[in-house]
Amino acid sequence: MEKLRWWVPMALVLACSGDDGLVDGFTQAEWELVSALSPAPQAAPDPTNKFADDPAAATLGQRLFFDPGYSGPIKIGDDGTNGGLGAAGESGKVSCRSCHLGEWMIDDRSRPAGTSLAIDWFFRNSPTLVNVATYEKWFGWVGFNDNLWGKSLIPAEFVMGTTRTGIVRYLYTKHRAEYEAVFGVALPPELDDAHPETGRFPSDATPLAADGSWSTMSAADQDAVNLAYANFGKALAAYQRLLISGPAPFDRYIAGETAAISASAKRGARLFIGKAACVACHAGPTMSDEEFHVTGVEQVGAHVLGAPDYDPGRFGAIGVYTGWDFSTAGKYNDDPSVNHSVGVTEDPALTGAFRTKGLRNVAMTGPFMHTGHLSSLREVVEFYNAGGASSGFAGTKDPLMVPLNLSEGEIDDLVAFLESLTGTPVPAELLQDPAGA
Ligand code: HEC
Ligand code: HEC
């Protein structure tokens, strides 16, 4: 981050200090900053998941992604207006796909728009999963996990109403052959309902529940469940690593196709790396520095954490995630030399901070922000033009969040630039249940 912070002032100095060798109207210094936002990113290597690039793991992950079979009872039923997934009490209605829909894998189902309804309302907006694997270490709005497979485990227990043994028993019943073929380990035979010792694995046990059933299991059985649960996440991650969009008009422009984007989008690109200083946080081809910042997003919406205890953002996540079995600090990481938790502390300055969102395909992935309360890119740029909200959020705003004094035309230009970041969608065969294909 420190490395990036000097870019913006430096760029402004360089941009004013001479215009030798203009590139399509950009100074050399401006062009260097703009072209550093391209080409379209690929999935980041993930040595913490041995199965990250295993096609059989990805196929199993794709099946699990589209499968509602392992979800638990719905708490908030369909009232005809909320886009609910079934009647209260019904099980087997929620899949990952329920909140990551369509070509861009966003939630356009839950209503009122903004946050997401699975078995219950969640207090943040569902982000796109297209290009999620281009983040290197922090996943989710607050970096609740530091790797994609660990992050993929969180919905099961938090928004899908199941448990660790619930998942592992499901894997045994429905996917045992594929699971064992991919991961090369046998699931414990006691997971079979008909096995005389099946009681060793209670049907719904998790260390997150206070009912004590997790602690009735031996340490070895707990480890067997955790290992299979981690592998469930690794299969889901292998699938999500394939969800990468292709080059956008902006990339074709940087590659030399001068007419690939409009004059307005080009002016917007200059504002993005210059006057509007967006690049200070939205850096590199992913357009995210993967750090946490307080931008002052007001907590607006029926299901967000409102006054007086506004969403604590990153600060609220650190303590929880450092004790989590499935971070890179835990034993299910396949490459302990990668440990993103080193140096992470519970820093109160991170109160109200959120991970910088990548901006690839952003025109297709609204509504915006962790609250989902901004519905157009123009509203987002107006939010920045005002220097963020003045109240209604936790924490102290980043010093970069100051009014930008952009004209109406400059706001249009920034929007046009953001619209030039839409790449080609992921292949259609990845957007359906492979079993039903
Ligand atoms: C409520 C509907 C819902 C369901 C069902 C759901 N998700 Fe999500 N997903 C969300 C929300 C909301 C977030 C953002 C949570 C946060 O960061 O606080 C999210 C975030 C994510 C992220 C992180 C994205 C990023 O930008 O870093 C991944 C990966 C993910 N989900 C995968 C899955 C998988 C895999 C499943 C199924 C096992 C799943 N989701 C099921 C709503 C859902
Ligand atoms: C101080 C760092 C910082 C700066 C400067 C910054 N952003 Fe952001 N941006 C963020 C963070 C953090 C988020 C996520 C905020 C949240 O949801 O709470 C975000 C979210 C966004 C989103 C919403 C993405 C989505 O999918 O919901 C857009 C669009 C965006 N920024 C564009 C811009 C533009 C354009 C500029 C320049 C005018 C800019 N940003 C400047 C940090 C920054």
Tokens of 37: 């936002």
Query: What pLDDT score does 113 carry?
Result: 83
- Site of tokens 């260097």: 32
Separation in Å, CA 353 to CA 366, 370, 377, 391: 20, 11, 21, 14
pLDDT band for position 413 (50/70/90)? very high
Q: Is the pLDDT of residue 134 over 80?
A: yes
240: nearest Cα among 167, 137, 151, 158: 151
Average pLDDT, the chain: 94
Ligand 2, atom 33: nearest CA belongs to which residue?
278
pLDDT given for residue 6 in this prediction: 44
CA–centroid distance, 176 to ligand 1, in Å, is 25
- Measure 280 CA to ligand 1 centroid, in angstroms: 26
What's the 67 CA to ligand 2 centre distance in angstroms? 33
Q: CB within 6 Å of ligand 2 — which residues?
A: 276-278, 280-282, 293, 295, 297, 354, 356-357, 359, 362, 365, 368-370, 377, 380-381, 384, 398, 400-401, 414, 418
The predicted structure's pLDDT at residue 437: 53
Residue 13 has pLDDT above 50, yes or no: no
> Looking at residue 14, what is its pLDDT?
47
**What six digits make up the tokens of 293?**
């910042």
Sign of CA dihedral 182, 185, 186, 187: negative
> CA 286, CA 93: separation in Å to the nearest integer?
34
CA of 237 to the centre of ligand 2 (A): 25
Closest ligand to Cα 297: 2
Substitution site in 67, 75, 99, 110 for ligand 1 pocket (most atoms within 8 Å of beta carbon): 99
Please state which of the ranges 65-69, 174-178, 228-232, 338-342 shows the lowest mean pLDDT.
338-342
Ligand 1 pocket mutation, candidates 63, 106, 110, 122, criterion most atoms within 8 A of CB: 122
The single residue listed with the structure tokens 């890179």 is 328
Report pLDDT for 324: 86
Using the Cα atoms of residue 118, residue 52, residue 223 and residue 182 in order, give the sign of their dihedral.
positive
pLDDT tens per residue across span 106-122: 999 999 889 999 999 99
- Per-residue model confidence as pLDDT tens digits over 145-193: 999 999 999 999 999 999 999 999 999 999 999 999 999 999 999 999 9
Provide the pLDDT for residue 69.
97
Q: What is the number of the ligand closest to the CA of 96?
A: 1
